[in-house]
Amino acid sequence: MPHRRSYHHGNLREALIEAAITLIEQSGPHSFSLAEAARRAGVSAAAPYRHFKGRDDLLEEIARRGYVEFAETMERAYADGRPDPLAALARVGERYLQFSRERPGYYMAMFESDISITAHTELYAAEQRSIGLLIRASEALAERLPKDDRPPSRMVANHIWAMSHGVVELFSRGKQGARSPISAEDMLSSGVTIYLRGLGLLGPADQPRAGG
């Protein structure tokens, strides 16, 4: 456990954030308290109030950081749609699942904490970076269709996001998906394929494989 010198060195804010992330990973975003984070950081229960108004303020900062890192990860995966938007979209899906596994504390703060995204400007901006990437991917895929036949890009993006989140929930933390003979990646890929093909965004031979 970190001890009080973290505070004296001016790192209390970061120590509290790291402590809270660990607590979220252990028991979820609703179960930890600011006092528990303070104990784990090795400071008094009053010390966190130098940096955070309360528990929700700390949770919002973790969610904000999570969304920023998430958006950067998704943007690197998409790589401006190279070599083609379908392959790029497949990479994005794989990175979505990877982020949920590797950064569970952030992921839970982002999606399971019930904080209001639209009520916080920085949170909203970070979240829109991620959905914006899926919108760009949807627009690129729709270019093969006549303009009047193209589905709304935000609708497509939201549906793909919902599928990704659903797969994470199905496979996360010992849930029933962990016993499935189908991997999370294959389940997401097949679901996105069926959806996009139904919208006419894929040809008969197209498959959203990450590849190169």
The model carries a pTM of 0.85
Average pLDDT over residues 109-123: 86
What is d(CA 163, CA 157) in angstroms, rounded to the nearest whole number? 10
The structural domains of the chain, with segments of one domain joined by +, span 5-50, 56-198
* Cα–Cα distance for residue pair 122/142, rounded to 1 Å: 30
The architecture that CATH gives domain 5-50 is Orthogonal Bundle (1.10)
Rounded to whole angstroms, how far apart are CA atoms 63 and 69? 10
CATH class name, domain 56-198: mainly alpha
Residue-level pLDDT at 2: 43
Average pLDDT over residues 158-163: 95
With cut-offs at 50, 70 and 90, classify the pLDDT of residue 123: confident
The average confidence (pLDDT) of the chain is 86
194 CB burial (10 A radius; 0-12, 13-18, 19+)? exposed
